[in-house]
Homo-oligomer: A and B are copies of this chain.
Amino acid sequence: MSGVGAHRGPVGIVGLGLIGGSLAKALQAVGVAVVATDPVSTEEARAAGLSVVDDVAGLALHRPEIVVLAAPLRAMRTVAGELAEALAGEQGWDPTVTDVGSVKTPVREAVTDAGLADRYVGAHPMSGTERSGFAASSAELMQGIPWAVTCAAAEAGVAGTDPGRLERVLRLVTGPLGGTAAVLTDDLHDEAAALVSHVPHVLANQLLGAVSGAPVRDLALGLAAGSFRDGTRVGFTDPRRTEAMVTENAAWVAPVLRLAARDLERLADDLDSNAPTHWFFDRPDGVRELIGRPAGPRVTGLRPGDGAGGPDVGSDVEVVPLTGDWPAELVGRCAAGAVVIGLEDDKALLR
């Protein structure tokens, strides 16, 4: 272990929506103490057996070792400020701050502007549904799922992510939560998330939007079956939530949308002129092979050659000692597709 102190407070959670609520339930289910706060779901969460305080300042009394900012993206700046204020009055409370935001660069900016950069480690659980709010949350949504955990390298005049704090977050994710963690820079995360989450949300909205304005709208909806249901599922997400995710990651999403626009226009041209269209339909062959056919109804973490996802400690586990600049070492390996499946003594286990 490197840099992990003896303090073991509860996990503090700011925001009990779909993700924060699910995280609270998943931690509580495995006996990790949780203290949470939420502007609207206090009573509901208490009824579910959670310890809920009135506001962010109220967390201080419980001295959580880790505070998870699980507010909507658009509220991250506000809650980071409230946490900084609460911290200013509390001697000896030294929490690590993390979050569950679907875009990492702007959250780091918000946390840095609040003066919390030194204690911050970014995190994004790759799991969700199109529903919102505490009522839709469930422990299962946060159990055994893939996470991205992001860190910053030291730059001129700015300290990089504290390895001890990174370790603390990795232990939480791969320990009680049973998940895997891809340790990444914010940019790597935001580029990958644009491809596998944000653009899929945009295209789901595009499918719904195209039907919306069609003269055959009602007829078409009457004929809609599996391809439409699955292709539009995340289009039923609260549009403000999707919009926040997409606009906060505009730098990575916009280029993927431009490529899509170019491809679809070219395909339309080829269809109109009876030109070959193999280039479009065969292009995903490599990815189809890598993924294999998803098995079962709930597949998260579509890792190459791994239809089922989830940790699978086999003979191909690699060990990275938590010495030297191990965060950079993990980023290098995870950028190539590896994930941390656990921490053991002073080693990270990857596959």
Contact = CB atoms under 8 A, between A and B. Distances in A.
A316 interface: no
A253 interface: yes
A313 interface: no
Interface stretch (A26-34, A61-69, A157-165, A274-282): A274-282
A280 B230 contact: no
Interface stretch (A42-50, A115-123, A258-266): A258-266
A294 B227 contact: no
A229 B299 contact: yes
A191 interface: yes
B128 A229 contact: no
A224 B301 contact: yes
A231 B204 contact: yes
Contact of A222 (B259, B285, B337): B337
Interface of A: 126-131, 145-146, 148, 182, 184, 188-189, 191-193, 195-197, 199-236, 239-240, 242-243, 246-247, 250, 253-265, 267-268, 271-272, 274, 277-278, 280-288, 290-291, 293-294, 297, 299-304, 334-337, 339
Contact of A199 (B207, B272, B335, B337): B207
15 contacts: A184-B219, A192-B216, A195-B211, A199-B207, A203-B206, A209-B263, A222-B303, A223-B301, A225-B300, A231-B231, A240-B281, A243-B278, A246-B277, A257-B268, A257-B271
Contact of A286 (B145, B201, B212, B284): B212
B233 A294 contact: yes
B239 A285 contact: yes
Nearest to A262: B261
Nearest to A125: B225
B271 A260 contact: no
A268 B255 CA distance: 7
Nearest to A221: B302
A221 B287 CA distance: 9
Contact of A196 (B213, B224, B260, B280): B224
Given A230-B233, A283-B212, A197 B225 contact: yes
A228 B196 contact: yes
Contacts of A205: 280-281, 283-284
A256 B271 CA distance: 12
Contact of A261 (B146, B219, B223, B265): B265
A122 B134 CA distance: 48
Contacts of A301: 222-225
Nearest to A148: B223
Contacts of A217: 287
Of the listed residues A201, A220, A239, the one surrounded by the most CB atoms of chain B closer than 10 A to its CB is A220
A336 B234 contact: no
B261 A264 contact: yes
Contacts of A213: 283
A146 B216 CA distance: 16
A284 B212 contact: yes
A174 to B, nearest CB: 14
Contacts of A195: 210-211, 214, 216, 220
A224 B126 contact: yes
A67 B233 CA distance: 36
A231 B234 contact: yes
